[in-house]
Structure 1
Amino acid sequence: MVSLLSRVPTPTPPSTVSDHEIPDEDDGNLTDLLGETRVLLSGVQTMTAFLILLPFNGGFSEVDGDWRPVYIITFVCALLSMVLFTAPAAHHRIHHPVLDRRGFKMLSTRYMIAGMVPLTIATFMVTQLVFSVIIPIAALAWVSAGALAVLLLTMWWFIPLRRKRTTRKT
């Protein structure tokens, strides 16, 4: 019978660790960041693809002139969030190996949070665009999109910020 301890790898002595294999007790955060980026990026890429195709759709020419600026702002917000979400990968690839992993994680976290702002705006605005086409009553379309905005702000911003503040106090 093989014991569980015999399967545990022995740590590499510090003298044999290469520059690109710098151990970091906080590597779990980097893995979390990567997973979060994958989730957010797939969503923003889907939204951006939808927005890229929209003007080439035959019905887009019928879109009221008042809605075109809304479309442009939505598209720019989606692109901006995509740029911010992909920036850590570009930094990592260009600056490989990353020797300051803690600094890289802090910068990447800032990019992710910054990317959430235009993503929140784009998600609300694309919802408003879609609802304005589907729901014939303008007020109902605005109320529906507003309900989503409240949900987004609550789930993406207020609850996490409140939990962060509560966690720091304890």
Structure 2
Amino acid sequence: MTSRQALPSDRAEPAVAPPQSGQDVEDGDLTDMLGELRVLLPTAQLLSAFLIAVPFAPGFAALVGAERNVFLATFLLSIASLVLLSAPAVQHRLLRPLTDRTAFKALATRQIVVGAFALALALVSATQVVLSAVLGHMMGNVAAAAIGLLTVGVWWILPRRWRSRGIV
């Protein structure tokens, strides 16, 4: 079997985007924002669902004071992240048609960032709870610190560095 070489006519021509009006750009930004929520929300939902089931597991009664407090903090952070991350979609639906898209996007952005912060804390504390139960408190704390550093680095520091360097 011989391979066919690509002919110039086979190559896709780069699409030239038509100029966009201010309204189109704002709608695109809003669409991007709501799309970003579609990535974050399942994480908060899944974490919350698992945490809701934990107290009904047979071993939950064995948790002592500090472990129970970390679990409760994890659960509350997870639920708070779920509320904050779902708020822009609900608000967008209730406020339609939007009269001030710029103000809505600013408020929604703040809610998403605070929700992502709560989710990050919930992920760190969930790591601590799970690995403490499986590998002991020392490893749980080390793993939680590592996940915390990874999250801070990838979610918060890296984008700021890219922006300051003009990469994105």
What amino acid does structure 1 have at the position aligned with 2:150? L
Task: Return the offset for 1:149.
Answer: 1.0
8 A contact 2:71–2:126 mirrored in 1: yes
State how far apart, in whole Å, the 2-side matches of 1:25 and 1:124 are: 36
Q: Distance in 2 between matches of 1:74 and 1:161?
A: 27
Distance in 1 between residues matched to 2:139 and 2:79, nearest whole Å: 28
Distance in 2 (CA, whole Å) between partners of 1:49 and 1:98 is 32
Contact 2:81–2:119 under 8 Å retained in 1: yes
Q: How does 1:1-150 map to 2 (within 5 A)?
A: 23-136=23-136, 138-150=137-149
Distance of 1:164 and 1:107 partners within structure 2: 21
CA distance in 2: counterparts of 1:81 and 1:165, whole angstroms: 28
> Cα deviation per residue 1:116-143 (whole Å; 9 max; x = unaligned)?
111111000001000001113x222211
The whole-number CA distance in structure 1 between the counterparts of 2:140 and 2:125 is 11
Partner of 1:54: helix, strand, or coil? helix
Structure with more relative contact order (C-alpha pairs < 8 Å, separation 6 or more): 1
Q: Distance in 2 between matches of 1:141 and 1:25?
A: 45
Q: Is the 8 A contact 2:132 2:138 kept in 1?
A: no
Identity %: 39
- Segments of 5+ residues of structure 1 without an aligned counterpart are 1-21
Residue in 2 aligned with 1:6? none
Task: Quote the offset at 1:113 in angstroms.
Answer: 0.7
Aligned partners of 2:98, 2:26: CA distance in 1, in Å? 14
TM value normalised by structure 2:
0.80
In the superposition, the TM-score normalised over structure 1's length comes to 0.80
For the residue of structure 2 that corresponds to 1:165, the secondary structure is helix
Letter in 2 for 1:40: L
User: Which residue matches 2:153?
Assistant: 154
Aligned length: 147
C-alpha deviation, 1:167, in angstroms: 3.5
> 1:76 Cα shift?
0.9
Shift of residue 24 of structure 1? 3.2
**Aligned partners of 1:31 and 1:124: how far apart in 2?**
29
Q: Distance in 2 between matches of 1:99 and 1:127?
A: 42
| Structure 2 gap segments, 5+ residues each | 1-21
Residue 58 of structure 1 deviates from its aligned partner by 1.1
